[in-house]
Amino acid sequence: MKIGVFDSGIGGLTVVKSLLEHNLFEEIVYFGDTARVPYGIKDKITIIRYAIEAVEFFKNFELDLIIVACNTVSAYALDEMREVSDCPVIGVVEAGILATANALKDKTSNILILGTKATINSKAYEIGLKAEGFHNLQAKATGLFVPLVEEEIYCGEILEATFRHYFSQTTSPDAIILGCTHFPLISDALQNYFSKDKILIHSGDAIVEYLEKNFDFNVKYNNPKLEFFASENPDALKAVSKKWLNI
């Protein structure tokens, strides 16, 4: 099975890492729209236009499936992508909601949703979680985490100060949804800030759980073919992929 993974930049590599750990696919084609990152501050019409352009790019590869790693695109543009795609398109928001529902049996659990401004404003996670019976929800736009991760700041005083900026008035949650693919890289720091017993919902792990529920994987691929493309500076993307994916 040959798939495409689409993200607004490099963050989607955290989803690729989860896919590789589970050996689900024979070929993975990654496209990061690095020339126009971040999507989290863009308006809906622009996000949809960029997403459709990504589908057109992927038509060069005869894919069996497209995974939208970007939470913002998953929140705003899945229907439009499906309309123009030659293969199924799935996103991380629906997968994240499923993973949260599976992880939390207590419907009164306090859930903290983190994401970009656009993802939080879409209320996609809140709508989906309320449909699953969860109503004790906090949603917070934490866009400053994205440039910090891009600068490889995964711990330390700058990140701690950013946590205090965002969370000083936040009720301690039972679970935290990492609603941006950059955020798993600061998951250890988040758990240290809130406490180790917090359940973290990671887009990469969530999409694997979703795939294994909805698709039949009879074959495992230990050495999948990987291709990386970017709309700007593809060498930088490839360098990050080697570091994050250990390839």
Position 185 scores a pLDDT of 94
What are the sequence ranges of the domains in the chain? 2-91+205-245, 93-203
SS3 227: strand
The HSE-up count of residue 188 (CA atoms within 13 Å, CB side) is 6
Q: Which of 83-92, 108-117, 219-228 has the lowest mean pLDDT?
A: 219-228
Token code pair at residue 69: 């790693």
The helix (H) or strand (E) run that includes residue 58 is: helix 44-58
Positions marked active-site: 70, 180
For the segment 185-199, what is each residue's pLDDT rounded down to a tens digit? 999 999 999 988 899
The CA distances from residue 13 to 139, 154, 180, 240, in Å, are 24, 16, 12, 9
Comparing 2-91+205-245 with 93-203, is the CATH topology the same?
A: yes
- Residues at the binding site for substrate are 7-8, 39-40, 71-72, 181-182
3-state DSSP helix/strand/coil percent for the chain, to nearest 5? Answer: 45, 20, 35
Phi, psi of 222 (to 5 degrees): -80, -25
For the segment 140-155, what is each residue's pLDDT rounded down to a tens digit? 999 999 999 988 899 9
Q: How far apart are CA 140 and CA 173, in angstroms?
A: 12
CATH architecture of 2-91+205-245: 3-Layer(aba) Sandwich (3.40)
Q: Tell me, which fold does domain 93-203 have in CATH?
A: Rossmann fold (3.40.50)
For the segment 191-244, what is each residue's pLDDT rounded down to a tens digit? 999 988 899 999 999 999 999 999 888 888 888 999 999 999 999 999 999 999
- Does residue 31 contact residue 90 with C-beta atoms inside 8 Å? no
